[in-house]
Amino acid sequence: MGLKKYQSDIGTIHRIRLGKDNAAVASNTEPAEAVDSNIRVKISKSNREFGLRPRSVSLTLVQTAKEGEVELTVTKRARLPILTQEVYDGEVFAIGATVTIGENVWTISNKNPEDF
């Protein structure tokens, strides 16, 4: 797990815990300012929980493999929190762009705004 900084839409800086591979995405830069909020950022928050659900992009990965004579196609989906609004609005994380996480190349299929 990687502990990073997340800048909310109103400018406050929060701590966010990302998975090891998600924390290593180089183009997802964190803000330079110091943490100034103790509100918890939760990536998979239900609507009944208190906290901040970060802005993110939805990722899709289609993998094809052969099992004997049968070819299997599997679609995986994931979310990647974007740490600053500037990066979220930029072309690197535009819908249809690709991002490499670990050894896999994911396609950005959707953008999700921040939510309290």
74-88 per-position pLDDT tens digit = 899 999 999 999 999
Cβ–Cβ under 8 Å, residues 91 and 38:
no
What is the structure's pLDDT at 2?
Answer: 81
Furthest-apart CA atoms within the chain: distance in Å: 57
Give the pair of three-digit tokens for residue 27.
Answer: 């183009």
Residues whose CB is less than 8 angstroms from the CB of residue 2 and which lie 6 or more positions away in sequence, other chains included: 17, 18, 19, 20, 22, 23, 24
Residue pLDDT, tens place only, 12-34: 999 999 988 888 898 899 999 99
Q: Which pTM value belongs to this model?
A: 0.87
Does residue 56 carry a pLDDT above 90? yes
Domain ranges of the chain: 2-112
Residues whose CB is less than 8 angstroms from the CB of residue 95 and which lie 6 or more positions away in sequence, other chains included: 108, 109, 110, 111
Beta bridge partners of 55: none
Query: What's the pLDDT band for 48 if we cut at 50, 70, 90?
Result: confident
Query: What's the pLDDT band for 61 if we cut at 50, 70, 90?
Result: very high
Give start and end residues of each alpha helix (H) in the chain. 20-23, 85-89
What is the structure's pLDDT at 39?
Answer: 86
Least Cα distance to 18 among 56, 46, 47 occurs for 56
